[in-house]
């Protein structure tokens, strides 16, 4: 007689960037892939604080969450814990059409737009920083062998877990901040780029739990310290799967499409940060001199720029073309990777559609310029609160027009509900509240 039956958790990365879903027996995977599991529209209003924001759905409606077998993760961390199984999926209506608030479907639409407009596919990876909760161990920490070695066992489990999740492992390091580590993985294609970011966050949390530790990816724990950034690396491949991001003749190596895409991101940046840095504390991180992002500028190897052209390590044109990529730095892990990437890709597509020229590249500290000098050069300070970011999102018709149906108003209601939970808290209280969630 069986005493245990393996379960698979069908998951969505929701508007709060939280992984929610339902489990079913592994033996039913084939049929569940077709028919999904039942899902409720109002779930989309559950904020990161587990409170239900006001929304249009109430008790009405039915949806399906259909796991995608390509994303199935079977994570065996060791003997102390059961095998974790989960798969990401799409939310559809009962007839199988994508639901307007399904973050994964929203990303698929953005990627289809990129392919249609630019004839390119997206290659990318999310680079994550996170912190262990609890005391700081003894000895020197930032980038040290000591700090690394104190978490070597964790790091080795994590690498194995990411491999089991189908990710290409890259690096694990002791970052500068208190108890802060960074993990990077190799690039993936299309919707998988965001899927892998969700997988990485969940595998990191599960690995920490296995080692009797807890981690947080919260945007910032304390303004006296550094933030936890999410840097989204991107490049393009053409129809023949050849790199299409770099052009030796282009400004700072940007191909035509790269230049327009980045110009689109910068033009719409202040209206999309509500989706890429979507918590109340995200705006404590998006301030000058934190190596995050504060203005809508493109930097060449500059870690204070919102978009940065990353270094390459070769003189060989073929290798440069393959390595050349840029990263979006105004993101954090309070965002659903699918939603953050969708917003960025749509902004980039808008830049292609508007045929925008490649932006100028900054190699200076923009925080030292006067508002007048900034305005003359077309730079805007990014919103300094989530309230402001939401206003700019909501009032930008072009940006809202990229998203289906009621999504923009549902998103804003969700986020305003989240803000109502933290509105009376001071900065430390807000940081603690988000740290406990992310």
- The nearer residue to ligand GLU, 41 or 227, going by C-beta atoms, is 227
304 part of the interface to Mg ion, by CB under 5 A: no
H or E element in which residue 106 lies? helix 103-118
Instruction: Write down the least CB distance from residue 329 to ligand GLU, Å.
Output: 6
Partners of residue 12 on adjacent β-strands: 20
Contact yes or no for 39/56 (Cβ under 8 A): no
Which entry of ligand GLU, Mg ion, none binds 17, CB below 5 to 8 A by partner kind? none
Residue nearest ligand GLU by beta-carbon distance: 229
Instruction: Write down the least CB distance from residue 184 to Mg ion, Å.
Output: 9
Dig out the tokens for 237 from the structure.
Answer: 């491949």
Instruction: Write down the least CB distance from residue 407 to ligand GLU, Å.
Output: 27
Residue 140 CB: number of other CB atoms within 10 A? 10
Cβ burial, residue 323 (10 Å; 0-12/13-18/19+): middle
- The nearer residue to Mg ion, 228 or 271, going by C-beta atoms, is 228
Which entry of ligand GLU, Mg ion, none binds 253, CB below 5 to 8 A by partner kind? none
* Biggest CA pair distance of the chain: 76
Which entry of Mg ion, ligand GLU, none binds 303, CB below 5 to 8 A by partner kind? ligand GLU
Residue 435 main-chain phi, psi, to 5 deg:
-60, -40
For ligand GLU, the binding residues (CB under 6 A) are: 129, 226-227, 229, 285, 290-292, 303, 329
Contact yes or no for 98/90 (Cβ under 8 A): yes
H or E element in which residue 397 lies? helix 397-400
Task: Count the helix, strand and coil residues of the chain and give each as a percent rounded to the nearest 5.
Answer: 40, 20, 40
182 part of the interface to Mg ion, by CB under 5 A: yes
- The nearer residue to Mg ion, 84 or 182, going by C-beta atoms, is 182
Instruction: Write down the least CB distance from residue 330 to ligand GLU, Å.
Output: 9
Which entry of ligand GLU, Mg ion, none binds 292, CB below 5 to 8 A by partner kind? ligand GLU
Question: Closest by alpha carbon to 107, among 346, 396, 307, 323?
Answer: 346
Which entry of ligand GLU, Mg ion, none binds 278, CB below 5 to 8 A by partner kind? none
Instruction: Write down the least CB distance from residue 179 to ligand GLU, Å.
Output: 13
Footprint of Mg ion (CB under 5 A): 182
């Amino acid at each position: 007689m069986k005493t245990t039956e393996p379960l698979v958790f069908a998951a969505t990365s929701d508007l709060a960037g939280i992984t929610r879903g339902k489990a079913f027996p592994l033996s039913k995977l084939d049929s569940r892939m077709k028919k999904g599991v039942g899902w409720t529209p109002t779930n989309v209003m559950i904020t990161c604080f587990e409170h239900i924001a006001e929304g249009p759905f109430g008790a009405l409606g039915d949806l399906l969450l259909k796991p995608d077998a390509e994303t199935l993760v079977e994570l065996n961390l060791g003997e102390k814990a059961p095998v974790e199984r989960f798969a990401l999926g799409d939310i559809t209506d009962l007839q199988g059409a994508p639901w307007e608030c399904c973050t994964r479907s929203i990303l698929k639409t953005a990627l289809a737009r990129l392919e249609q407009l630019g004839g390119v596919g997206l290659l990318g990876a999310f680079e994550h920083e996170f912190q262990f909760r609890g005391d700081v161990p003894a000895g020197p920490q930032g980038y040290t062998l000591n700090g690394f070695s104190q978490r070597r066992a964790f790091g080795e489990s994590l690498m194995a877990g990411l491999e089991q999740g189908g990710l290409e492992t890259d690096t694990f390091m002791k970052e500068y901040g208190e108890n802060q580590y960074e993990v990077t993985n190799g690039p993936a294609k299309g919707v998988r780029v965001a899927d892998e970011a969700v997988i990485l966050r969940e595998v990191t949390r599960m690995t920490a739990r296995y080692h009797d530790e807890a981690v947080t990816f919260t945007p910032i724990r304390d303004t006296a310290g550094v933030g936890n950034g999410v840097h989204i690396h991107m490049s393009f491949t053409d129809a023949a799967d050849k790199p299409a991001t770099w052009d030796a003749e282009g400004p700072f190596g940007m191909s035509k499409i790269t230049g327009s895409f980045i110009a689109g991101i910068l033009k719409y940046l202040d209206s999309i940060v509500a989706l890429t840095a979507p918590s109340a504390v995200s705006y404590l991180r998006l301030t000058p001199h934190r190596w995050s992002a504060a203005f809508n500028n493109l930097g060449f190897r500059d870690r204070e720029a919102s978009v940065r052209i990353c270094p390459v390590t070769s003189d060989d044109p073929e290798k440069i073309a393959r390595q050349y990529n840029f990263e979006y730095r105004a993101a954090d892990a309070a965002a659903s990777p699918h939603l953050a990437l969708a917003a960025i890709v749509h902004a980039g597509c808008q830049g292609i559609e508007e045929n925008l020229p490649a932006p100028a590249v900054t190699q200076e500290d923009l925080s030292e310029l006067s508002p007048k000098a900034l305005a003359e050069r077309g730079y805007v300070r990014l919103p300094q609160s989530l309230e402001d970011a939401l206003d700019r999102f909501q009032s930008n018709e072009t940006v809202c027009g990229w998203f289906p149906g009621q999504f923009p108003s549902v998103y804003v209601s969700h986020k305003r509900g989240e803000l109502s939970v933290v509105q009376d808290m001071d900065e430390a209280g807000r940081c603690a509240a988000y740290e406990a969630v992310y």
